[in-house]
Structure 1
Amino acid sequence: MSEEIATVLSEIDDPEIVDQILQVVNSTGETNNPLGDSSTSATLSELYQRFLSRRQNRSPATKAQYKRTIPDFVDFANERNITSPGQLSTEVVDAYVDELQGEYDSDATVLTYTKNVRGWLRWLNERQLCGEAVYRILDKQELGLTPTARDEAIPKRVITAVLDNLQKHRRGSRLHALVALFWNAGPRIGGVHSLDVDDFDTQDNELRFRHRPESGTRLKNGDDDTGSSGDGERNIVLEDTVADALQLYIQVGRPAATDEFGRKPLFATEYGRAARSTLRRWVYEATGCRWQPQTNSHSCCDGGCNPDSDPCNQSYYPHAIRRGSIVNHLSGGLRRELASERFDVSVKVIKKHYDPRTEQDRLNDRRQAVKGAWE
């Protein structure tokens, strides 16, 4: 809308007359709308291809990132019947971020997706095809992403020392219970977020993961009844020491809190269910230099790290503990088929992404398993 028309409309008191003028403006092609409601007939898919064609001077790695990330957002929008840039809103983008954080445990991965989508949305905004707020909410600080922690599989010696130190000095705390659970059970952070106190069977040392979208929590693979791609619902057995840590946490460390649905979340704050971002901060804190083995070199950390604003350079993501847990179970002789059920991940994905053992390591593991079968 031009400045002249806006000035005229501001001086009219009758809303019906304003509406009639707007209808005439729209019908005569006055479409310079900063929100991009009708300034292009191109679809999001076509605009993505146009964006990509204007980036031929980028490196192959950068273009590969564009091809891996932006179409994911376009598909997300199309699934919600959003096909043009004028239909994009901050609510849609927020929902996309929620889905990313539910699927990926690593802030670095979420940042890669949001950074590239933000760049594309900004490109659209420069052409007045979408609003400025649509891309600005994907700012790293706005999203609270802190991709400074480590994302590789946590070494067994490190997590062992962390758990020993927490056992000695923070026994029964949320940090102790949370990290022990991540190491033994290897869940996704979304799975931990979904847990209630009643999901922990103290008699059989079992933990139940359930998909409850109607009451605010979801599992990545849902359940068979929802028509999802897999079944994330499962019961898993816990090691005795981990069950003891959880039970003590429930008795002395957990605040007596319920969420907005009246459920009793296993990991809670005084306000209710701990958010995924809160769970990540707790893991950053628990795996920082303070609790790691003294033999580690902490020359890159001055001890002034803060899990809320500046995680320790020595800290690990929750996903790194999940990866380490899977590797540890595989190295201990757990077959991939059984690991697939325990960790809710396909055998193919385990082999490709979660099993960084060398071929020699795998050979040694098979040798020990075969010898065990002989015995």
Structure 2
Amino acid sequence: MTEHLAELLAETDDPQAIKELLELATNTEHEDPSSSPTRSLSEFYEQFLSRRQDRSPATRAQYKRTIPPFIDFATGHDVTTPARISPDLLDQYVDALQATHDSDATILTHTKNVRGWLRWLNKRGHCPERVYRILDKDELGLEPSARDEALPTTVADMILERLRQQRRGSLKHAVLELLWNSALRIGGLHSLDLQDFDPANNELRVRHRPEKGTRLKNGSQNHGRGGDGERNILLDDAATQALVLYTQYEREDVTDIYGRDPLFTTSQGRASQSTLRRTIYEATSCRWHPSDSDSTDCEGDCDPDVAVCPYSYYPHAIRRGAIVHHLSGGLRPDLASQRFDVSIQTLEKHYDPRSKRRRREDRAESVRDAW
């Protein structure tokens, strides 16, 4: 404690003032003494962004959409350095988000990214751990809707059956049929060209083409990334037939700005990731959901930050459900790892529906078969 701070504490008997002075002293102790005291929150944010060049454009865009508004909020409260960020400030920030956004999922997106940035600052000694812990999901009491969960097989089967009957070969039907069979990420869906689809062999080729406008999350071995998202995927007959009908009757015959022939198109060219995401929300909305089969009141205004239908599922919920569906059907984890571009460790932690006992029994059976 500095002599100046001791004098200030001695001169006040206001409990709130004493609390704020002590918090300021604690925050200051965590600030890196080697760093310049004049470095602003914006300067730290720019450094944070520069250290994440390997992140996907979508992830970096999300950082840019969510962290600067927090910096503006902090600056508006006369907080310009990490050391002055307090739990009280973060509580006020969450209150402001809740007053602006109705969706828990949207609030969670903002707080998750700000929390990640504050954690990055904490690792460098610029703010204490207790600050970013304020933005923990459980601490905030956020309850995103069921669309964050895995799409159950029973629900997927009923939605797909309705789409086959009423919108067969449409963009909605083709996209959902393909996602349920392949569990592609939204970036993989966006990357597909017409030439990547081989209906004669029920095959889909997934390729990383950053120099031509599309990327895969794990890149490719030829582009200096740690992983390899490139692979050929075998499709079932339902997915192949849906894609054939879509390409014959609904696909716009256009090229993108790189002269490529996208598989999924609009009149302007390649369907953007936001267009594909809205399509997924629409395909799983109340109009097609089996729990409300007579309802047609979904207006299709599927903006994830405004008015997603309560019945809709996020793309990743469909991916998660599709992976669980394949594993439940007996697909070996090592083969699932290759098909879905996900590590075996992640599969076992987040996707494998089997109990630990069942896993042990399956391993024992495999060993006996090898004998």
Shorter-chain TM-score bucket reads 0.5 to 0.7
Moved over 4 A (4+): 43-48, 113-117, 124-130, 138-141, 144-149, 360-364, 367-374
- Other-structure match for 1:29: none
Gaps of 5+ in 2: 1-35, 82-96, 108-143
Relative to 1, partners in 2 of residues 1:40 and 1:96: Cα closer, same or farther, differing over 3 Å?
Answer: farther
Q: Does the residue aligned with 2:51 lie in a helix, a strand or coil? A: helix
Measure, in 1, the Cα distance between the counterparts of 2:51 and 2:72: 15
Pairs within 5 Å for 1:1-375 = 41-42=38-39, 74-78=47-51, 98-100=57-59, 115=66, 118-120=69-71, 122-124=73-75, 150-293=147-290, 296=291, 303-309=297-303, 310-359=307-356, 362=359, 366=362
Measure, in 1, the Cα distance between the counterparts of 2:251 and 2:101: 31
Relative to 1, partners in 2 of residues 1:367 and 1:159: Cα closer, same or farther, differing over 3 Å?
Answer: farther
Relative to 1, partners in 2 of residues 1:193 and 1:348: Cα closer, same or farther, differing over 3 Å?
Answer: same
Measure, in 2, the Cα distance between the counterparts of 1:226 and 1:153: 32
| Residue pair 1:305, 1:311 contacting (<8 A) in 2 also | no
Q: Deviations over 1:317-369 (max 9, x none)?
A: 111110011001111111111111000011111122233554466578x3997
| Residue pair 2:302, 2:309 contacting (<8 A) in 1 also | no
Relative to 1, partners in 2 of residues 1:359 and 1:179: Cα closer, same or farther, differing over 3 Å?
Answer: same
Q: CA deviation at 1:311?
A: 2.1
Q: Deviations over 1:163-187 (max 9, x none)?
A: 1011111111011100000000000
| Residue pair 1:187, 1:343 contacting (<8 A) in 2 also | yes
Q: Does the residue aligned with 2:205 lie in a helix, a strand or coil? A: strand
Measure, in 1, the Cα distance between the counterparts of 2:223 and 2:77: 40
Relative to 1, partners in 2 of residues 1:145 and 1:271: Cα closer, same or farther, differing over 3 Å?
Answer: farther
Gaps of 5+ in 1: 1-38, 49-72, 81-94, 103-109, 131-137
Relative to 1, partners in 2 of residues 1:239 and 1:369: Cα closer, same or farther, differing over 3 Å?
Answer: farther
RMSD: 3.9
Measure, in 2, the Cα distance between the counterparts of 1:255 and 1:360: 51
| Residue pair 1:255, 1:270 contacting (<8 A) in 2 also | yes
Q: Deviations over 1:229-267 (max 9, x none)?
A: 101111010001111110110000111121111111111
TM-score normalised by structure 2 residue count:
0.64
| Residue pair 1:182, 1:325 contacting (<8 A) in 2 also | yes
Give the counterpart letter for 1:42 in structure 2. R
TM-score normalised by structure 1 residue count:
0.64
Q: Does the residue aligned with 1:150 lie in a helix, a strand or coil? A: helix
Relative to 1, partners in 2 of residues 1:149 and 1:189: Cα closer, same or farther, differing over 3 Å?
Answer: farther
| Residue pair 2:146, 2:313 contacting (<8 A) in 1 also | yes
Count of residue pairs brought into register by the alignment: 278
